[in-house]
Each structure stands twice: as C-alpha cells, then as structure tokens.
Structure 1
Amino acid sequence: MNTINLGDFRLDFQPTYIKLKINEGFHFDAKAFEELHSIKEEIYGNLKVGILVCNDAEADYSIDPLVLVHYKEILENHLQWVIVVSNIVSDFKNFEYLQRLTKVPCKFVRNYKSLHPESCIAS
C-alpha cells in the first residue's frame, strides 16, 4: 500500500479506492479537497475510485460541507462510492450531507467488521 501523509490528512492508495484519514484538529476545506483531487488525478487519472473515510474514535476534526456543493461535479465524476467508518455523531452528519447532495453511492458503518467482500469496496 502506498501512503502519503500530508500532515493534516493521510491517504492510503489501493487499486480501486483511496483510504482517507483526517488527522486530529484539522478542518477539511476547499484547499484540502483540491489537494486530494490533484493527487487522485496524478495517481488514477480519470478512473472513478472509491473513498474510504476513517478516523480514530477520539479524533476531533471538521469537514466544510460547502466542499460538497462547490465540488459536486468533481465528486460525481471521480468517485465510484464513499464509505465512512466512524462512531462519531458529526461524521454521521457529514455523511448525511454527502448522501443528500450527491449521486455518489454512500454507506456509513460503525466499524470495519461491517465491511465484507460483498460490500461496495469489492465492486
């Protein structure tokens, strides 16, 4: 697995998806999204990939929901699916925004045990 640690967030690259871990105290905003998108295009080109968002149970971070509005077209053109793995209430709220504002298939799970080979990670 190839990993890039950008300080504010870490990306782990798999053949068909990217694992995104937002680090403690970071605000994921337009600048972070553009950086993520640029790296995604360098590695995968125009291939649609999945995004697996996961964080530590104690992590405190935020995501700017306007990213989902301003970059809606990019999200829909470049993402095959999004899975959020978390027990944090604010993560579920961010997931609900994503699910409502895009056509990208989304799933929210509380732990990795909820993911299995038949899940959308395998597709």
Structure 2
Amino acid sequence: MKNRIAQLGLIISLLFSTLVNSADIDSIDLKVTMKEMRLAYTQAMKATSADEFSTRIDKMSKMLAVAQSYNFSPERAEMSNQGLDKVESILNSLQQADITNENLTVAQAKLEDVDSLRKEYHKKSKPSIWQLIFG
C-alpha cells in the first residue's frame, strides 16, 4: 500500500513538473523562434546575392511555421495569428518570385513589410500605459 501511494505521488509530481516545464518551454521556444526569424530577416536584408537572400527567406518560413504552431493565449491568439498570416503571405510571395541579383533590392524592399508588421503587432500586443489607462 505504501508503495502504491509513493508511486502515485511520484506520478503526480512528474505530471505537474511536466505541465509547468512545457509552459516554460513554449514561451522560451517562441522567443527563440522569433529571435531566429529576426536574425534571418537581418541577414536577408544584408544579403548580396539572390541565393543568399532566398536561403534566409526559407529559414524565416521554417521559423514562421514553428511560430504558427504555438498555442497563444485565447485573448492573443486571433491577433497573433493574423499577424503571422500576413508575414506568411509576404514570405510566400517572395519565395514564388524569380529573385535575381538584379532585382534583389526590390525583393529586400518588399521584405521590409515584415519588419513593419513586427512593429505593428508588437505594439498591439503590448499597449502603452496611456492606452491602458485611457483606452
């Protein structure tokens, strides 16, 4: 009987620690994913060849897929997914385009829209103190 109670206690504590750790891992993974996307974005903007640019766009798309699979809180899910979908649309259009060394700067200018979206959605998700007070 004591063995069963000890085993049950161990199972419950393992389950609890798994739940807590998975919540921490989710938030850490999203931060890491977003930082990796930011790095790929910066590298794409500094790319000097179409091949390098395309490689960085592919990396961003992979990181975006990870971010889209994240389980956002119910109050943030719609807005966050909307922003990620807009980023996906831009990346898809860049991946489908015939990017050459000659039109690389045009593609990089289009990629700047991703940074604008990042600023817009970060602002929406973290309202200023004045917005919180005055609505």
Q: What is the TM-score normalised by the length of structure 1?
A: 0.29
Q: What is the TM-score normalised by the length of structure 2?
A: 0.27
Bigger radius of gyration, 1 or 2? 2
Greater fraction of residues in strand: 1
